[in-house]
């Protein structure tokens, strides 16, 4: 149980385009989902907390107009990187909080390469 | 603001040796602490979760201890194997809320 999927697993796009990444909790409902970014050989940095039916809460330094988050249902959150640039190239990982203790379960990650 | 530090950043040992990975955190008001494994280019695999009221957790060759008052946790991996080669991350969950703060990770290489 407690499986989280992400789609796509990797994406290559041209600079200036927008990319949407989906995060799904497959066998449980998640009121809260989280989006992290990980640069090579670095740790995970929380970008934003996504609550179903409300606006996401962004961490300091994360541009909310650039990283659009939508959490329209209890099993799906999406992250859209708008007008992507090479510096946005990174590994994006989501997690979904579930169970009685709201434990975070992590997705397999999405690798984004912006050319 | 919670800060999590992992020492060493990298570790290389011959197969069979025991591994000791350290994690320290600045704010002792935590809900739990979790150890993860990450293989290159992959997501996170949860290894052990220690609640703030617990002192240790064990799973097979893995043992994690927690000393909340001193802000430290240690992950022990007994009789290391080449398959244990990966990056190990510790993460602290804050007492109020659900945010996780990750350490920088320890890259482990177990040589056959």
pLDDT tens by residue, A31-82: 899 999 999 888 899 999 998 888 899 999 999 999 999 988 899 999 999 9
The answer to whether the Cβ–Cβ distance between A93 and B103 falls below 8 Å is no
Interface test with B, best of A21, A43, A103 (most B CBs within 10 A): A43
Answer whether A28 touches B (CB < 8 Å). Answer: no
Contact between residue B56 and residue B64 where contact means Cβ atoms under 8 Å apart: yes
The answer to whether the Cβ–Cβ distance between A43 and B102 falls below 8 Å is yes
What's residue B4's pLDDT? 96
Residue ranges of B 16-55 with Cβ closer than 8 A to chain A: 36, 41-44, 46, 49
Beta bridge partners of B107: B10, B87
H/E stretch holding A82 reads none
Instruction: Give the single-character DSSP code of A102.
Output: T
* pLDDT tens readout for residues B35-87: 999 999 899 999 999 999 999 999 999 999 999 999 999 999 999 999 999 99
Q: Which residues of A touch B49 (CB under 8 A)?
A: 103
């Amino acid at each position: 149980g407690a499986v989280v999927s992400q789609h796509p697993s990797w994406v290559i796009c041209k600079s200036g385009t927008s990319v949407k990444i989906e995060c799904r909790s497959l066998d449980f409902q998640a009121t809260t989902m989280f989006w992290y970014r990980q640069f090579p050989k670095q740790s995970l940095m929380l970008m934003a907390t996504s609550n179903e039916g409300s606006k996401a809460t962004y961490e300091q330094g994360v541009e909310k107009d650039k990283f659009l988050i939508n959490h329209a249902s209890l099993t799906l959150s999406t992250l859209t990187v708008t007008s992507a640039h090479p510096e946005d190239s990174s590994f994006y990982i989501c997690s979904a909080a579930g169970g009685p203790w709201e434990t975070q379960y992590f997705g397999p990650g999405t690798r984004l390469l912006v050319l | 603001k919670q800060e999590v530090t992992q020492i060493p950043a990298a570790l290389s040992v011959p197969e069979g040796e025991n591994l000791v990975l350290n994690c320290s955190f600045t704010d002792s008001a935590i809900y739990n602490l979790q150890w993860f494994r990450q293989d290159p280019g992959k997501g996170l695999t949860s290894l052990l979760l220690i609640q703030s009221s617990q002192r240790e957790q064990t799973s097979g060759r893995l043992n994690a201890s927690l000393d909340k008052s001193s802000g430290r946790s240690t992950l022990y991996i007994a009789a290391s194997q080449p398959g244990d080669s990966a990056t190990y991350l510790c993460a602290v969950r804050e007492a109020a809320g659900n945010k996780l703060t990750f350490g920088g990770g320890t890259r482990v290489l177990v040589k056959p």
